[in-house]
């Protein structure tokens, strides 16, 4: 059986110790990154808007539609902005027969 000097054994132990520390640091970093990503996924779901389809009738205006669906305490311009954003509208003009997505509050 071959005998190793104390110096060689000490080197092997320190190399193993360094490797263990490195692996522990990488594992800790991965756990931290995973935990950091979870809140962002949860917040993304909160921003999701539920909608319903509405077919515009003669005489309807965007302002009147916003008043009908506006929850108490919400400003009408904010609701109109959201309707325009959902329907990718540049102006507030709507036409009879047009299909609109309206937010559900």
The CATH label, of 3.30.70.1230, 2.40.160.10, 3.10.350.10, 3.40.30.160, for the domain at 51-103 is 3.10.350.10
Mean pLDDT of 23-28: 91
Global pTM value: 0.55
Check residues 81 and 2 and name the one with the higher pLDDT. Answer: 81
pLDDT, position 82: 93
Rounded Cα distance between 80 and 70, Å, is 9
Contacts of 97 (CB under 8 A, 6+ apart): 55, 56
Check residues 10 and 68 and name the one with the higher pLDDT. Answer: 68
pLDDT, position 7: 59
Mean pLDDT score of the chain: 82
């Amino acid at each position: 059986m071959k005998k190793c000097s104390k110096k060689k054994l000490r080197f092997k132990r320190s190399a193993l110790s360094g490797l263990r520390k490195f692996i522990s640091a990488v594992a800790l970093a991965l756990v931290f990154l995973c935990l950091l990503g979870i809140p962002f996924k949860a917040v993304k779901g909160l921003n999701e808007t539920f909608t319903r389809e509405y077919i515009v009738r003669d005489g309807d205006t965007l302002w009147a539609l916003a008043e009908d669906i506006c929850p108490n305490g919400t400003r009408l311009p904010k609701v109109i902005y959201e309707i325009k954003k959902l329907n990718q509208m540049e102006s507030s003009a709507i036409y009879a027969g047009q299909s609109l997505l309206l937010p559900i509050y």
